[in-house]
Amino acid sequence: MEKMEIDDIADDGTYNLLNQGNIHGRKWRHRYVSICLGLLCIVLLAGNIGQLVYSYQAKQDNITCPASTDAPQAAYNALTQNQNDILAAENRRLCSERDALSAEKQQFNAMLRNLTEHNEQLHQICTSLRIERDKLGFSINNVTNKINLLQANYSGLKTACGHIKTSYNELQQTFKDLQSDHNNLTADVSLLNTKYKNLQTEKEELQTRFSLEVKRVQSERNCSFLRKEKDQLQESLQMLNRSNIEIQTNYSLLWKNKELLTTKYAELTKEKEDLQMRCQNLINSTDILKTKDKIGEIPSELLCPTHWRYFKTKCYFVSTVKKNWTESRRACISEGADLVIINNHEEQSFVHGMLHKDQNAWIGLTDSLTEGVWMWVDKTPVTKSYWLPGQPNNYRGQDCGEMVQTDSGGKWNDDGCFSQQLWICEK
Ligand SMILES: [Ca+2]
Ligand SMILES: [Ca+2]
Ligand SMILES: [Ca+2]
């Protein structure tokens, strides 16, 4: 469209210029032809006038010639007069026509001068127009070059426009693809959100399961620990059973020895009584009392080992380290003693008094052989007990006795045999 418009403008401009030149040329040609025709008419008219003038002079010459007779002469004269009148009239008419033609000639001459001047002006105008035409031709060339350049630019722009249209179509296609991708992605996002929520729910369920699993593992660990403790207890039980068998064997032997000794003791007692009876008569009762007083003054350090305390013919020891009941008893046996056996209230008070505040200690008391049947380590049953209220309760299988400090004095409690405690030996 732009090219067409430019072409139209260029063509119109050129066309107008050419048309204007043609119009001016035609007008000038018409004028030249009119002028020539006017001049030709003037020349013809001048010729006619000259002929008429010549004819008139010839007639004048003929009129002046003398006549020989009167009638014809009169008729001739009349006719001549008539003709002279006609000629005079004609002469006047021709003179007037001549004057008119002269005036017209002058007018034509004036017009010719004017036309000449106008012609010169027109020449000048034509020259200036030629110059302008050349300028316009140069301008037209420039414009043509510009038009060509613009056409080239237009072609380039058209090509670029085509590329842009192609790119636009491609971009539109890309946009459609992107829109489609966007829709797909939106659908994917919705799907992922749903999956995320499902995963959150699964995560919470797994966390719950994990907590339960952790608790289960902890329980298994506790069970494992308890199994180990149970195994240790079983081993200890087996060891105790073996010890029990050995002790029972020893007990049987000792029982036999005891019976023998009891028999011997009875015999010796009888001998002693006899001897006492004999001595009673022989020894002064005062000397006997003095001897007894001296024995009572003997310090306990001389009667018992170091760190042991003497009480009513027995030595007692409180450990400074802690062991379980079996190892505590083994330590006592290694010292030629055993865990303390409390035979009466005085001994209970004494043993309790050996402990400091907040101290507990193993004593020779157990129901490991028969649950609920408490016996001393020498297999003798418990006749007088000092249990805490509510004890023994066999909590988690407690089978070993301990001395416990309370505000109301020493009391007994059953505890787990593998607890680490101080211990009290007696020998
Ligand atoms: Ca005792
Ligand atoms: Ca028990
Ligand atoms: Ca208890």
**What's the pLDDT at 70?**
67
pLDDT band at 114 (very low <50, low <70, confident <90, very high): confident
Read off the pLDDT of each residue in 180-201 and give the average, rounded to a whole number: 85
Q: Which ligand is nearest to the CA of 342?
A: 1
Measured distance CA(104)–CA(224) in Å, rounded: 157
303 in the same domain as 162? no
Per-residue pLDDT at 71 exceeds 90: no
CA 370–ligand 3 middle distance (angstroms): 16
Q: Is residue 101 part of a domain?
A: yes
Per-residue pLDDT at 21 exceeds 60: no
Q: Is residue 286 part of a domain?
A: no
Per-residue pLDDT at 294 exceeds 60: no
Measured distance CA(325)–CA(191) in Å, rounded: 69
**What's the pLDDT at 426?**
97
CA 301–ligand 1 middle distance (angstroms): 19
Task: Out of 143, 175, 207, pick the residue that ends a domain.
Answer: 175
CA 318–ligand 2 middle distance (angstroms): 24
Q: Is residue 150 part of a domain?
A: yes
CA 352–ligand 3 middle distance (angstroms): 18
Per-residue pLDDT at 336 exceeds 90: yes
Q: Is residue 242 part of a domain?
A: no
Greater pLDDT, 65 or 287 = 287
pLDDT per residue as tens digits for the range 347-374: 999 999 999 988 999 999 999 999 999 9
CA 358–ligand 2 middle distance (angstroms): 23
**What's the pLDDT at 332?**
97
Read off the pLDDT of each residue in 291-320 and give the average, rounded to a whole number: 78
Task: Out of 156, 175, 194, pick the residue that ends a domain.
Answer: 175
The CATH number assigned to the domain holding 328 equals: 3.10.100.10
Q: Which ligand is nearest to the CA of 314?
A: 1
Q: Which residues of 219-257 are buried (b: 16+ CB within 10 A; e: fewer)?
A: eeeeeeeeeeeeeebeebeeebeeeeeebeeeeeeeeee
312 in the same domain as 164? no
Q: Is residue 224 part of a domain?
A: no
CA 216–ligand 3 middle distance (angstroms): 30
Q: Which of 50-64, 137-151, 398-412 has the highest mean pLDDT?
A: 398-412
CA 381–ligand 1 middle distance (angstroms): 13
Q: How many CA atoms lie within 13 A of 188 on its CB side?
A: 6
Number of domains, the chain:
2
**What's the pLDDT at 282?**
53
The C-alpha torsion from 193 through 195 and 197 to 203, rounded to 10°, is -140
Q: Is residue 94 part of a domain?
A: yes
Measured distance CA(216)–CA(211) in Å, rounded: 8
CA 131–ligand 1 middle distance (angstroms): 159
Q: Which ligand is nearest to the CA of 414?
A: 3
**What's the pLDDT at 285?**
46
Q: Is residue 217 part of a domain?
A: no
Per-residue pLDDT at 90 exceeds 70: yes
Read off the pLDDT of each residue in 269-287 and give the average, rounded to a whole number: 60
Greater pLDDT, 196 or 255 = 196
CA 330–ligand 3 middle distance (angstroms): 23
Q: Is residue 20 part of a domain?
A: yes
CA 414–ligand 1 middle distance (angstroms): 19
Q: What's the predicted TM-score (pTM) here?
A: 0.35
CA 400–ligand 3 middle distance (angstroms): 9
CA 345–ligand 1 middle distance (angstroms): 10
Q: Which ligand is nearest to the CA of 337?
A: 1
Residues 365, 368, 374, 375, CA torsion sign? negative
Residue 188 has which token pair? 């994917």
Read off the pLDDT of each residue in 177-199 and give the average, rounded to a whole number: 85
Read off the pLDDT of each residue in 233-258 and give the average, rounded to a whole number: 78
Give me the domain span that covers residue 362. 298-426
CA 386–ligand 3 middle distance (angstroms): 13
Task: Out of 141, 175, 209, pick the residue that ends a domain.
Answer: 175
Measured distance CA(406)–CA(196) in Å, rounded: 64
**What's the pLDDT at 357?**
86
Report which of 158, 170, 39 is spatially closest to residue 101, judged by C-alpha positions: 39
CA 372–ligand 2 middle distance (angstroms): 5
Q: Output the average pLDDT for the chain.
A: 80
Measured distance CA(263)–CA(104) in Å, rounded: 211
Measured distance CA(99)–CA(204) in Å, rounded: 138
308 in the same domain as 161? no
Greater pLDDT, 119 or 320 = 320
**What's the pLDDT at 290?**
46
**What's the pLDDT at 388?**
95
CA 65–ligand 1 middle distance (angstroms): 229
| Type of residue numbered 317 | F
Q: Which ligand is nearest to the CA of 394?
A: 2
Percent of the chain scored above 90 by pLDDT? 26
**What's the pLDDT at 284?**
52
Q: Which ligand is nearest to the CA of 384?
A: 1
